[in-house]
Structure 1
């Protein structure tokens, strides 16, 4: 079925030639367009919109693999949340922490929005970010001994986080 729909959705080069003749495109531009299209016939499967006479073909692709029902996944997640909620001893504290987290998230979003509206602050933070990125690249990524030092620091931090520190 996929081959039948693909055959009907893509015009052939012969169809394109008749379209170019019917639309009275000059022979030079028609030849150039046909040559450009024939080069695009071998486009990558990842290519989404190959050009055809200034227009684009829409290719719709779907990933195959996981065919599980999304509602089943949602039901499993809800069941997990319900089981965890039933096991919780101090439900008032958990509810208070959740409510506090929402308030902090709302306030921080408002603060960031207010800072973003100030005329010089976003540009200043961008400049500081660019400077820090340049320093980090110079300090840890440019030379091999510095990269090895960074890897050791990251491994040490990971060991501290996971608790596998010797």
Structure 2
């Protein structure tokens, strides 16, 4: 009985897929033409350049590093930023209020992020918000960017806003 069951199961185990080709998939890739590698653009004094030489089946890769005597370290810029921040902090008269404003801004960013994530969890609302955003973007482009008079008006509004923020108006 077990032999009969084994015989029937072996006769039923036939491949249900299309026959595979005799060539492995990677051998077909070797027939593609090889393209030369381009060196990366030179943007810093320590830029490696790559030379790829193919001779037969041997490949060699060489690096050439150009050194420069210029000191373009970013540590001096970071130091300047910190010194500027320290000067501005020392110039503040009401430091506790600045800390309260900074903390309030951090809490506001966290709270708005929480609200946006809650709105995104409702199924229909994110697509509706995208539609509103697209509509507003279209209106803004039509109102302020499409015509020369609108661009002039936008530039004037930005200047007035900058003057209000700086406090010269």
TM bin, normalised by shorter chain, reads 0.5 to 0.7
**Within 1, Cα distance between the matches of 2:103 and 2:144?**
41
Whole-Å separation in 2 of the counterparts to 1:109 and 1:25: 51
1:155 Cα offset (Å): 2.8
SS of equivalent to 2:156: helix
Cα distance between partner residues in 2 of 1:140 and 1:154: 6
Indicate yes or no: 2:88 matched with 1:84: yes
Q: Distance in 2 between matches of 1:139 and 1:123?
A: 24
CA deviations on 1:70-117 (whole Å, 9 max, x unpaired) are 222211111111111111111111111111111111111111111111
- Taking structure 2 as the reference length, the TM-score comes to 0.53
Matched, 1:107 2:111: yes
Q: Identify if the C-alpha distance between structure 1 residues 64 and 114 changes in structure 2 by more than 3 Å, giving closer, same or farther.
A: same
Summarize the Cα distance change of 1:80–1:116 in structure 2 as closer, same or farther, 3 Å threshold. same
Partner of 2:3: none
The alignment yields a C-alpha RMSD, in angstroms, of 3.3
Higher strand residue share: 2
Offset of 1:150 from its aligned partner?
1.3
After TM superposition, the score normalised by the length of structure 1 is: 0.54
- Report the structure number with the largest CA radius of gyration: 2
Q: 1:154 to 1:139 in 2, by over 3 A?
A: closer
Cα distance, 1:138–1:102 mapped onto 2, change above 3 Å? closer
Aligned length: 114
Q: Relative to structure 1, is the Cα distance of residues 70 and 90 closer, same or farther in structure 2, using a 3 angstrom cutoff?
A: same
What residue in structure 1 maps to residue 44 of structure 2? 64
Please name the residue that 1:98 is paired with. 102
Q: Relative to structure 1, is the Cα distance of residues 117 and 24 closer, same or farther in structure 2, using a 3 angstrom cutoff?
A: closer
Structure 1: give runs of 5+ residues left out of the alignment.
1-22, 42-56
Q: Could you list the per-position Cα deviations for residues 47-91 of structure 1 after superposition, in whole angstroms to 9, with x for gaps in the alignment?
A: xxxxxxxxxx68654523796212222111111111111111111
Classify the secondary structure of the residue corresponding to 2:93.
Answer: coil
Aligned counterparts, 1:19-30, within 5 A: 30=31
Cα distance, 1:127–1:83 mapped onto 2, change above 3 Å: same
> Over residues 1-59 of structure 1, what are the superposed CA-to-partner deviations in whole Å (9 max), with x where a residue is unaligned?
xxxxxxxxxxxxxxxxxxxxxx9769xx84xx33xx5xx65xxxxxxxxxxxxxxx686
